[in-house]
Homo-oligomer: A and B are copies of this chain.
Amino acid sequence: MSKKIVVIGGSAAGPKAASKARRMDENAEITIIQKASDLSMASCGYPYYIGGFFDDRDQLLCSPAGVIRDSRFFWNAKKIETKVRCEVQSIDRKKKTVNYINLENGEKNIQPYDKLIIATGATPRKPQIPGIDLDGITTLQSLQDADYLRKVRDEGKIKKAVVIGGGLIGIETCEALNLAGIEITLVEMLPQLLTFLDDQMAKIVEKYVQTKANVILKNGVSAFIGKEGKLTAVKLQNGTEIPCELAVLAIGVTPNSKLAADAGLETGATGGIKVNGYMQTDDPDIYAVGDCIEINNLISGISVHAPYGDLANLQGRVAGENVISGNVKKFPGVIQSGICKVFDYGVGAIGLSEQNAVKAGITDIETVINASLDKPGFMQGKLLITKLVVKKEDGRIIGAQVIGPGDVSKQLAIWAMAIKAKFNVEDMVNADLPYAPPFSLAIDHSIATAHIMQNKLSGKMQGINASQLKNSVKQKENLFLLDVRNPNEFEVLRLGLGEVLIPLGQLRKRLNELPEDKNTPIVTWCKISLRGYEAALILKANGYKNVRVLEGGIMSWPYTLEK
């Protein structure tokens, strides 16, 4: 007799699980029950549709061959029955049925299953504050949200918008609406954007985003203000009112696990459904995948909510095979990789930031910031800034953040592989990556980052980061500040902290210009701090005992520069 596979949810993880199950078993009866009216929506593409990167909405719903993935497509190409606009109301685990309602006509039905896959996704958080139901307030989660915001673009009437939340979706929404010609204010409750970044990295991104939008940090929304039912302003917790006709809420999502919890399935501290490596819940006949679950972080060992489209697909594929073949495939967990485009910048992180490592109880860490071009200057190389996080004990790489106009995506992919492989720094210093000038530097940025980390771990280099330096200067600590670039570079741009300029090439001859007291704390730097490092070595060889290098040099300085 053919197996009955029922999948709840038809966005990403669900259809993938159903399709994989079909490929494993031509004879299974496979049904997807989907609350929305669309199927297999490319929801990660919504910001780009809104931003006008493409105009054909169908592209969000198409297979690579250009066919819309509707119920007919699923039936004809995959023999998968899809019940759209149908909402599952309960799961009867004893009878092995789900009860669902047709949202079009109110009809209630029962669907039996041998194996059930829950892929109910997540819902954007909405703060319960005054005015939340005004016209002009939206999230960016559903295709209907995307349609609404695309209409805003096409109509061109709205001039000012507030985006609430400085995470991935918030940042992507900023770009999309800016490209739609709308003046944006981005409001974030925390002291920084993008919490997968450490503060200095986030600060650099913030400085860049400020050139496109008004960024307000450490401030939440206390109310939405309206007139005749329409939004007219956003009121912040500090009392500021920002006039606007549109507000987009992007303050995170909550896993849709209520259906599972109501059926007695275990959920975790994140609110996500608990699953084992086979993507199986504590009911052996029920699997769960995608944004509604929580999953093991392979670095910290902590269960996390990781609502990413790529993971949803991979998890769906694992569950789709296991429901047919028994538990034969495992999803190993996540290292948490995130990337987003912010205008001409790529911004992303793999694994743990320094801040998140500390939160996870991993405190014996070393970090380094490296700035360089992604390829040679003569090939129009663009800037990359990387912060690498490793365990001091064994140099094991546990996190990397990369930002900049350069090829961020490749760098992050390299670190994702390094972390998955449990590489330590020594594994990376002689990595054999493909090199040609159109694609990278002779020593790739990732490898150079490992080199600097190696120098730090071995005690050859002592670093100081931008916020530490800024703080020391603010505290009027007795520091000798040494910029070792060339006069023409200094002329154009400098930190302006009272630093002395001695070009590296003159340093050995001009050591008499340095403090006599060899214990004086000295900080050296250059554009990216390679010369700064060489300068520090010269000073140390000449008896200076307290020399640090400003990591990432001037290119990674997140504060105002003197011009």
Contact = CB atoms under 8 A, between A and B. Distances in A.
Interface string A388-409: 0000000000000000000101
Nearest to A440: B409
Contact of A26 (B312, B339, B418, B541): B541
Contact of A23 (B350, B437, B447, B537): B537
A16 to B, nearest CB: 8
Given A417-B418, A423-B421, A339 B436 contact: yes
Contacts of A451: 317
A421 to B, nearest CB: 3
A505 B73 contact: yes
Interface centre among A317, A336, A438, A540 (most CB of B within 10 A): A438
A23 B478 CA distance: 27
Nearest to A443: B313
7 smallest A-B Cβ distances: which pairs?
A26-B541, A76-B505, A421-B421, A417-B417, A339-B434, A310-B435, A59-B378
B434 A77 contact: no
5 contacts: A45-B376, A59-B377, A77-B505, A77-B531, A337-B435
B44 A437 contact: yes
Interface stretch (A184-192, A467-475, A522-530): A522-530
A215 interface: no
B314 A378 contact: no
A416 interface: yes
A413 interface: yes
Nearest to A79: B508
Contacts of A278: none
B430 A486 contact: no
A334 interface: yes
The listed residue with most B CB atoms (<10 A of its CB), out of A310, A340, A348, is: A310
A308 interface: yes
Interface in A307-359: 308-314, 317-318, 331-332, 334-341, 346, 348, 350
A340 B437 CA distance: 9
Contacts of A447: 314
Nearest to A46: B437
A416 B440 CA distance: 14
Contacts of A409: 407, 410, 434, 439-440
Contact of A379 (B53, B56, B312, B348): B53
Interface stretch (A60-68, A126-134, A151-159, A230-238): A60-68
A48 interface: yes
For chain A, which range describes its interface: under 10, 10 to 19, 20 to 34, or 35 or more residues? 35 or more
A485 B77 CA distance: 11
A42 B376 contact: yes
A78 B45 contact: no
Interface string A494-534: 00000000001110100000000000000000111011011
B434 A337 contact: yes
A294 interface: no
A556 interface: no
A27 B508 CA distance: 12
Contacts of A505: 67, 73, 76-77
Contacts of A317: 451
A373 interface: yes
Nearest to A175: B438
Contacts of A318: 430
Contact of A417 (B12, B407, B431, B530): B431
A537 B416 contact: no
A420 B423 CA distance: 10
A228 interface: no
Given A77-B531, A331-B430, 14 more contacts: A23-B533, A23-B534, A42-B378, A44-B437, A65-B489, A168-B436, A308-B435, A312-B442, A318-B430, A338-B434, A339-B439, A409-B439, A414-B417, A417-B417
Nearest to A402: B434
Contacts of A485: 65
A372 B310 contact: no
A45 B437 contact: yes
A427 interface: yes
A276 to B, nearest CB: 15
A444 interface: yes
